[in-house]
Structure 1
């Protein structure tokens, strides 16, 4: 099923344009890791006000997050980059360069600043900006937080003046993210200065319960949203592992909330994640991949990260543009003779540029012992290259090509397709009529399989796409061989494995 965000495309496009025009009072437009850990001269552009940082464990996501925070005076570099005596000798001569929008410092152009670590001390000239940091410790349950220990007693009580109901914007946002009504929830000020607070909720029948009985994700979302709604406009929000403690649907809604906050309050948010769901509402320009020594821009499947960094047990890795190209290539490989299919892994990259870049990085990585190739779509603007192992799939749009080829061979394979689409064999004619009708009215080939599935009774798009891909691979053996012959030298065969 095609994901459809509740954030309108017009909102996404307007925010992309706003960032491109640098139409902000304060905004971190770009940072360059000149020399930090394994990174050398690696730039990160913030082309969208909500940025996701993904990558394998140890890949450098938190390094980029911390570097962003160090651009501003309110965040001490030690918050992210503490030095432990002689055991952190590699920190010597670290350097980060920034392009900042700060209209109080420069009304027309970007402000350029540098943060460096030399002679065992940090050096920087950082401007002021409000920065919120939400670390992974935010999901620690209330009964494990020492500052709330005094609240865990039968005699605990605070004056009524110290009880503050959550504001309507907070209630509305949290209710949508968590999918539950939190009207009547409140915050209890535990100490005189309000530095320690305890949340309290109410059941449907009006009975109260404290944060000690909240879920960890529920508590962290309420606290984050409350702070974000309270913070001044143009602030920077940094979040580590945004999906911690959250259901996948709640993760999507949290990212959508941050996009909404970017529109309403001109906030800028940067977060790290291991979740594909967190990437769904974002455009490709909002996603950066950290791989220990290189940083790439573009949307991809989290599962492909091990392949990109060479941490994979396979004989061949194939990078393709998107999920359907992945389905199609896998179907082709299954129908080929004598291939060690279980030793081949195919990854969809959500874009031809990303697929090509990841393949090139993988092939140049000296630590990777597994060869890789890239298969681009027929209409891709990327160039084929035998030297870089970049090859082109037949047709223009893969969805349209496979769909039309299968329908052309309907007389010999129509019944098989109907069954693959979970329909009765004797209903093949009805399936044919539906497919022809969809093809006639379709304006976007990427939606063909979703539209057929809808007319067949809410059949999942993935089921329809897999049926067409597999039937094509069975019906066109000669075309299948023409696809494989271009990169046959890389394909692992059963005899070779034996």
Structure 2
């Protein structure tokens, strides 16, 4: 199970800061009134580090560009260039903004519009420092024309143009890349510093230039150095954050961005195709961009594939979280084992996200695979049978499953003990642990992880799978009620 190095208290504080708008400069919301395939699509930045995910051509860079165009420093042409008659569709494009700028309004937000009319961009944009890191940042040094003159045996610069990185830059880069970068330097190729070349040093003391760096290594060093040198409350935009990086380095980079958002009050928006980049973020920090829609919520690449029609199965099921996914899948395996190969179940990290994604999926004309949605018993979303939205049994999933299995202990306690990697004869001890935790637990979402900790540090996933499997065996009629709706949906489509 993933555990971020960012404390939950920091995440909560940043969510609260965005909600209370405790910033001098911040972009809380923009609306794509009409841009490319989007019409009247709002996106709110409820966390200062926001990930935009979606398929190729889905509009991730459009959102990034729209955010950039809120401020005077960035020309709209950087993201939305017009190529004569070939881009006539840009006429009447419009983006609306809700901005925080305490220089313009001490207590309220400021509203601005960027629009393209009469063959030109029109806007009244406020000042804010904007740092943009495009995909070109990972181009290797030997392919960058501005560094060509550095690739000679006679190249050298005066020592006063070679600078060590600050302790904060070295610390951040070292943590992200997992290596000691104490010997790294940057040199000014030109006196004005507009062109720079990096240098490093091996553990043995041998120096080497950026021409021998990995592309990801070089991009991280340059990016961190620029962010640390940048102004507080800047807007930072990053395209394809995972480019050139190992998955672990991607996670560490996002964790660094959260830390710097806390420390320097910066705002970050990045695009990604990486599940790892999403792991440290809360659900409300993630937005999906499809060809014509934006919606909020954490989901993985498999779920994204489902809502964009790239599916090889015959039925899709959208659920709230990992427990519901395990619950539905184990019910299918126990009651209709042959059917498991025909269905995809996707955890959406939230009931609202599950319902919205399900509705979008079924309304999307490019998808020909039907979906169904199961929300938890404690969800505030409404059941809607005609639309395929149903409720799982019980008021609180973890509590319901645990209590149900404990009620059937005489018949299934031994099997559960074995599923929890204990001896059959240890069933009484396992039951005692389960009952103690049931009585002392204050957060039902932690029930299975707490049981796992007491039973020789079993992973939560193992405990969850064991309880869901035994529940499906002990309560076949309730399991059938879940599975039958999914099977019926497949039959209706193949009839």
CA displacement 1:247-272 (0-9 Å, x = unmatched): 22222221121121112111111111
**Aligned-residue offset at 1:290:** 1.0
| Residue in structure 1 matched with residue 130 of structure 2 by the alignment | 131
Cα distance 1:454–1:205, how it changes in 2: closer, same or farther (>3 A)? farther
1:266-415 aligned at under 5 Å gives the runs: 266-337=265-336, 340-415=339-414
Cα distance 1:295–1:397, how it changes in 2: closer, same or farther (>3 A)? same
Q: TM-score, normalised by structure 2?
A: 0.94
Q: Distance in 2 between matches of 1:457 and 1:178?
A: 33
Instruction: Kindly indicate whether residue 441 of structure 2 is the aligned counterpart of residue 456 of structure 1.
Output: no
| Residue in structure 2 matched with residue 490 of structure 1 by the alignment | 489
CA displacement 1:63-112 (0-9 Å, x = unmatched): 00000001111111121112223322221211111111122222232222
| Residue in structure 2 matched with residue 167 of structure 1 by the alignment | 166
**Aligned-residue offset at 1:453:** 2.6
**Aligned-residue offset at 1:374:** 0.7
Task: Give SS of 1:311's match.
Answer: coil
Task: Give SS of 1:340's match.
Answer: helix
1:258-269 aligned at under 5 Å gives the runs: 258-269=257-268
| Residue in structure 1 matched with residue 89 of structure 2 by the alignment | 90
Judge conservation of contact 1:415–1:428 (CA < 8 Å) in 2. yes
CA displacement 1:366-397 (0-9 Å, x = unmatched): 33222111100011111111122110001122
CA displacement 1:125-165 (0-9 Å, x = unmatched): 21221100001111122222222222223322221101100
Task: Give SS of 1:387's match.
Answer: helix
Q: Distance in 1 between matches of 2:103 and 2:124?
A: 15
Q: Distance in 1 between matches of 2:213 and 2:467?
A: 47
| Residue in structure 1 matched with residue 109 of structure 2 by the alignment | 110
Task: Give SS of 1:28's match.
Answer: strand
Task: Give SS of 1:143's match.
Answer: helix
**Aligned-residue offset at 1:180:** 1.9
Q: Distance in 2 between matches of 1:12 and 1:230?
A: 24
Q: Distance in 2 between matches of 1:422 and 1:19?
A: 45
**Aligned-residue offset at 1:324:** 1.1
| Residue in structure 2 matched with residue 41 of structure 1 by the alignment | 40
CA displacement 1:18-69 (0-9 Å, x = unmatched): 2222222211121110000110001111122111111122111110000000
Q: Distance in 1 between matches of 2:414 and 2:444?
A: 23
Q: Distance in 2 between matches of 1:248 and 1:445?
A: 31
**Aligned-residue offset at 1:320:** 0.2
Judge conservation of contact 2:332–2:339 (CA < 8 Å) in 1. no
Judge conservation of contact 1:391–1:486 (CA < 8 Å) in 2. no
**Aligned-residue offset at 1:7:** 2.2
**Aligned-residue offset at 1:497:** 6.1
**Aligned-residue offset at 1:346:** 0.8
| Residue in structure 2 matched with residue 474 of structure 1 by the alignment | 473
CA displacement 1:344-379 (0-9 Å, x = unmatched): 111100000110111111122233222111100011
Q: Which moved more, 1:31-40 or 1:115-124?
A: 115-124
**Aligned-residue offset at 1:437:** 3.8
CA displacement 1:398-456 (0-9 Å, x = unmatched): 22222222233233223332332333444444443443343343322222222233333
| Residue in structure 2 matched with residue 7 of structure 1 by the alignment | 6
| Residue in structure 2 matched with residue 202 of structure 1 by the alignment | 201
Q: Distance in 2 between matches of 1:210 and 1:427?
A: 62
RMSD of aligned Cα (Å): 2.1
Judge conservation of contact 1:316–1:492 (CA < 8 Å) in 2. no
| Residue in structure 2 matched with residue 253 of structure 1 by the alignment | 252
Cα distance 1:164–1:121, how it changes in 2: closer, same or farther (>3 A)? same
Judge conservation of contact 1:73–1:127 (CA < 8 Å) in 2. yes
CA displacement 1:314-364 (0-9 Å, x = unmatched): 321111000110011011112224763322111100000110111111122
Q: Distance in 1 between matches of 2:173 and 2:226?
A: 12
CA displacement 1:460-481 (0-9 Å, x = unmatched): 2222212222222222212212
Q: Distance in 2 between matches of 1:173 and 1:230?
A: 13
Matched residues, number: 495
Q: Which moved more, 1:273-282 or 1:344-353?
A: 273-282
Q: Distance in 2 between matches of 1:339 and 1:436?
A: 35
Q: TM-score, normalised by structure 1?
A: 0.94
Q: Distance in 1 between matches of 2:23 and 2:89?
A: 36
| Residue in structure 2 matched with residue 26 of structure 1 by the alignment | 25
| Residue in structure 2 matched with residue 243 of structure 1 by the alignment | 242
| Residue in structure 2 matched with residue 191 of structure 1 by the alignment | 190
